[in-house]
Structure 1
Amino acid sequence: MLIGAGCFADAQAALQLAERIAGILAGDLGGLLVEETIVTEVVDLPGQRVVTSSGTLVVAPSPQQVRTLIESDARAFRDTLSGLAQSKACKWSFERRHGDLIGGGCAAAVGWDILLLGHRGTHRQDGKVVLIAPPTVAQQSAVELAKDLAEALHVDLIVVSLGAVETAVQQREPFASEADLLAHINRTNASAVVLDLAAGPLHTHDQLRHLLAVARCPVLVLGAAQGEPSIAHTTHIPPVSDGSEP
């Protein structure tokens, strides 16, 4: 499983989830920290102000301060990942990229069975596991993952779909449009969202980007490498770690 995030706060949410479901995870672990290009562009402009999570308007940090924070995030992400891998007795790797989290994460997901996108939670209590049902019964990997995840977390599983689908899960809520489906997820207290980007109904990087924004929780993506990319491309930074065990 590859864990991708744009900062350590988001990565930590994904790492904590991975630790809780370690019993259902197989294989090695990877970490990907993506330095969003827009962040470095904003801080390079003099006199810029940003809004904090509490709604306060403050002067944007200097480029040097941002670089220091990014390096600190990278060390914390790498160290926590290595600790988790050690507890699972598995190999691990870690790398960094510039650009967009979704594009970079999907590009890096080649060869990984799951891409776990980190997002810091906004709810104090555990929420449900949300499955975005694939269109046909032949595409059930996401269904099984969501069931196992809900069982491991001891939370309810809810299944949503875009239109009528053939799925092994009987109780589901169909939505007529993607906007309605995302609006429903936006109103849901979720611990995690599961989908298969190759199977659908969501296929593109832009759709995945919108989903992560409204879910406000970690998103587990199967078939991430088969997602349809946006126009923007990411720039690769050489790996921080050689991928060996700690």
Structure 2
Amino acid sequence: MEQDLIVGVHSIVHAIRNPKRTTVELIACEEGLEKLNKMGGLKKHELDGLNIKLVSSHKVQELAKELYAKEDFQYSRVPSGVLLVSSAKSISETKPLFDAIDAGEEVKILCLDGVTDVHNAGAIMRTAAFYNVSHIVFAVKNNFNIGPSMARIASGALEYIEIVKCNSLPKFLSALIKRGVTPVGLTEHTDDNEIGEIAGIKCLVLGAEDRGLSHASVRLLEKKIRLEPIGKIESLNVSVAAAIAMEKVFS
């Protein structure tokens, strides 16, 4: 069985409460269990039936190192003395999303075009969950990997958003457009800073940290917006820009 390593109190609590996940093992020291309760609001009865390995705080880190190496993740100290080993987050193909659109279901789609930094990706995912985004779509190549660091930064958002991987984001966008969806791209290469009215399904496309949207994606997008600075600093971190753009598109 494929496994996810989840760290961060809130991320662990949301994963435990997710009926689609199976807890393999909860590795924790006494203080870690206490933090799940006091910081994360996890009730004692929610731990009933879970496979809990109660060890010293030092042993938590030793076991984490072994698990990180086994799963090919770069180890960093596990916060709060608690680590969850869970069944893997399911990654969807594009067909179920297209089927949902064709069936008239209400979805909110966020496309990430070349976002590679897990810290930015995790922060974007957390904001997306705040705005009730249903699907995050990204291409197989040149994008972030889902792992412990991203799970911690996403603060539980992984449990509430469908993750969709496609072979080509431009081809995915083309398929959306054929279905009557008008994706909105965030880019500096436009003079338009007003979103206006968007009928039907809402879809926001965000580009990479350094180069923004790819040319292949930009060529397809009929609707593009920019964030107009009103101060001396003219650029934003992609996760901050994403939050402002989501307020415009999804609120």
Structure 1 length as normaliser, TM-score? 0.31
Give the number of the structure with larger relative contact order, counting CA–CA contacts within 8 Å between residues 6 or more apart.
Answer: 1
Structure having the higher Rg = 2
